[in-house]
Chain A
């Protein structure tokens, strides 16, 4: 069965960096993109970016450009997300999610069929 297992909770000081990992199993790793989505306390979901697990190409939300990197290691089916220059409002639960996409007759659909369990990142002095 498909599983995405994330690394554990982190506590960081402002200005530091955090690295969250996401290990995939149960499917062909390089066939599907992995996305990162975060959720601040009491807030909605916020898309951060994605990585093509085959090529390693990345695409980030403008808000995170220059602060986020995403990498993958195909030997261990793992994607990592690094966020630098942490601020208190980066405190959130960070999720990885596997996506699928399909287009037909000019209409496309994209969805996240599996999610990791989430990783709590707390930024506090």
Chain B
């Protein structure tokens, strides 16, 4: 079982805002990072640290955290945002991923 818990599936209407959450005790000691993965592709880094986006990631993606929960927010979801989203952080001497959230854009 994963030490980070994500909802398996979330949906959002085109252009609306959606929040994807990730919960786990390790998040109290380490910032999470978020990855987007489309079918047949490798994950792509979306957010790391205290809401830092790598170059090329649209600013509609943002991250936040509070206690043992971290969130990825997509403000104005686009059709191309339909994908799997994975959270990650460091546990005790190991790395851990959430189970992933499948986002459907309606």
Contact = CB atoms under 8 A, between A and B. Distances in A.
A37 B29 CA distance: 22
Contacts of B98: 44
B97 A45 contact: yes
Contacts of A110: 30, 33, 88-90, 95
A108 B29 contact: yes
B99 to A, nearest CB: 4
Nearest to B46: A111
Contact of B48 (A44, A47, A62, A111): A111
A29 interface: no
Nearest to A115: B42
B66 interface: no
Given A107-B30, A109-B30, A47 B95 contact: yes
Contacts of A107: 29-31
A40 to B, nearest CB: 12
B88 A111 contact: yes
B31 A59 contact: no
A84 B48 CA distance: 33
A89 interface: no
B43 A47 contact: no
Contacts of A61: 94
B100 A116 contact: no
Given A35-B95, A107-B29, A110-B90, 4 more contacts: A44-B86, A59-B94, A109-B33, A109-B50
Interface of A: 35, 37, 43-47, 50, 59, 61-62, 95, 97, 101-102, 107-113, 115-118
Interface of B: 2, 29-31, 33, 35, 42-45, 48-50, 54, 86, 88-90, 93-100
